[in-house]
Amino acid sequence: MESLERKIDGQLFEKILTFGALNLQANVKEINDLNVFPVPDGDTGTNMYATLAGGIDSLQKQQQQSIELKAGSLAEGMLLNARGNSGVILSQLFYGIAQGLMGLKVATLPEFAIALKKGVEYAYKAVVKPVEGTILTVAREAAEKTYSKIDKETTVQAFFSQYLSELKLSLGHTPDLLKVLKDSNVVDSGGAGLVCIAEGFYKAIIGDDSLGEIAFTAVENNSSSLGEINFDRYSKMEFGYCTEALVQLLDAKGGVENFNLQAFIEFLSGLGDSVVAVQTGTKVKIHVHTLTPAIVLAECQKYGEFISVKIENMTLQHNELFVEEKQAEMVNCAIVAVGSGEGIIDLYKECGADYVVVGGQTDNPSTEQFIDAFKSVNAQNIFVLPNNKNVVMAAKQAGELFKCANVTVMPSKTPQQVYSALVVATDRENLSVLEEDMLDAISQVQSYSVTYAVRDAQVGEVNIEKGDYMAFAESQLMHTSKTEIDCLRKIFENAEDIEDKEIITVFYGKTITEDIKEQVRELAQEIVPDAELVEYDGNQEVYSFLLSIE
């Protein structure tokens, strides 16, 4: 490492990021456990790891060794695999770092530190209302202070040692900036995840191999295992080719200056459908279903050259697998909902959801899962109904990346709000009325839930013991008890204006027995006899009861 004592090349960049992901993987549970509420849905570590691991997969496939291309591949993979708010913020952090490293084959330490600061800028922009005392603060303070302490004698090892120290120092101060962290006696979980990544960086630099073998598994390509090919001289080409390419724009072809992403998307749309085009710096990732892939590739080469190309015969795939149907005519409007639990998912579909992205608490869907959903519904206008506040950012990021439909992410943050919005989503022709109806339904729902504590904790003045049941009004803790029915009673007794409500809808969790259901009916009859009780077997994990009161 003597020649690179004060510089970072693509090979070293890949090594430190790989070690960072491995160290994060080793600490996922500890990061998840930092959730402010001790509910079994703390998933910050899981989301950050899934996001970074997706980037590592892309990074390791990049054969060019410049730090610009390595960082760009990492960022592209992270953007598509981003899960949850923490994952989206992390993906934007490394996207900004990649922007800061553009044009560099090898980065000096000042250049790398500036890239870290650029990453912070992008991460802050990803959040509508940035809050200090979070991963944003930790990343910003560490990048600024590390940059300020570089001198001509600073080595790579000293740089990453300083960066790690600054991250830890900032993380330790997060409870001083966020009262909810201090009350719960924890530090910010996203910031803790970033510290774990940086610890992996440092282990890579000093040659600490305690993390073991690299454990990332790339997605297998099954295109060579089709067996007997059912496509011969008498076949008819019905479905075209799934054409994907990663293009490096080149100065020699004028591509860097002259390439216009929107104009290129319009060109692709004239040749086929399922168009997706994403530009990351000077690289462009495209996807299109077309009968003329040669024309697509020729247009790409006007601006640059290919890093990778994949063309698959979709008619052959249809003949072999019998799963693809002829592309339907594009519809005016579709609704994509997010749901978890077999009963809830089936109910959403019955209520008109065109596609249900599986996920929510403990299993936040990725940006790419949303993009796949958008492709599937084949609509000009798409409304997305997230079921959790930790899903919203990934949905919005997918909407920004997906260019062949108008995507609107609705402010639904509970499964109950999704259900209520679907019930009123009947007019698919008048989009403004449809949106207004769904917004009104979402705003009218009072959402409550009952779950259990996975650890001892103190939230404000409330002492919680492991195994206790907890009642929530959306994200606000209402009550704790040793029984789920007692928590439900507190919800009925304390719900706002419950005497004026007409409908109480309850989604039963996976563990709820018939005996408990009967107790729920008796309790509702006792406290709110004039309200109609609507019951569904949601079969959701984590929550014993999900209730909506309208």
CB atoms near residue 394 (< 10 Å): 31
Question: Which helix H or strand E contains 477, and what residues bound it?
Answer: strand 476-481
**CB-CB neighbours of 23 under 10 Å:** 22
- Nearest residue to 503 (alpha-carbon basis) of 544, 547, 473: 547
Give the pLDDT confidence score for residue 209 in this predicted structure. 73
Please name the amino acid found at residue 501: K
Domains of the chain: 7-206 (1.25.40.340), 241-321 (3.30.70), 331-444 (3.40.50.510), 447-549 (3.30.1180)
Q: How high is the pLDDT of residue 95?
A: 94
- Characterize the bridge pairing of strands 379-385 and 406-409: parallel
* Beta carbons of 37 and 470 less than 8 angstroms apart: yes
What pLDDT is stored for residue 214 in this prediction?
43
Contact between 407 and 335 (Cβ < 8 Å): no
Q: What is the pLDDT of residue 436?
A: 94
Residues of the chain with pLDDT under 50: 1-3, 213-229, 320-327
Tell me which residue has tokens 């710096």.
Answer: 281
Q: Report pLDDT for 43.
A: 80
Look at residues 140, 267, 157, 152 and name the one whose alpha carbon lies nearest to residue 201: 157
Which residue reads 């510290």 in tokens?
Answer: 195
At 196-209, the pLDDT tens digits run: 999 999 999 998 87
Q: Is 350 exposed, middle or buried (0-12, 13-18, 19+ CB in 10 A)?
A: exposed
Quick one: pLDDT at residue 216?
43
Maximum distance among all Cα pairs of the chain, rounded to whole angstroms? 79
CB count within 10 Å of CB 336 equals 24
Around Cβ 141, how many Cβ atoms within 10 Å? Answer: 19
Token code pair at residue 482: 């040793």
Report how far residue 72's alpha carbon sits from residue 22's, in angstroms, rounded to the nearest whole number: 20
DSSP string, 359-417: -BTTBPPBHHHHHHHHHHHTEEEEEEE-SSTTTHHHHHHHHHH--SSEEEE----SHHH
Q: Which amino acid is at 366?
A: S
Extract the tokens encoding 524.
């509702």
337/420 Cα distance (integer angstroms): 12
> Rounded CA gap, 52 and 517, in Å?
42
Q: Which of 437, 443, 380, 381 is nearest to 411 (CA)?
A: 443
Tell me the CA distances in angstroms from 314 to 277, 288, 317, one per residue in order.
Answer: 20, 12, 5
Name the 3-class secondary structure at 535: strand
SS3 of residue 142 by DSSP: helix
CB 276 within 8 A of CB 375: yes
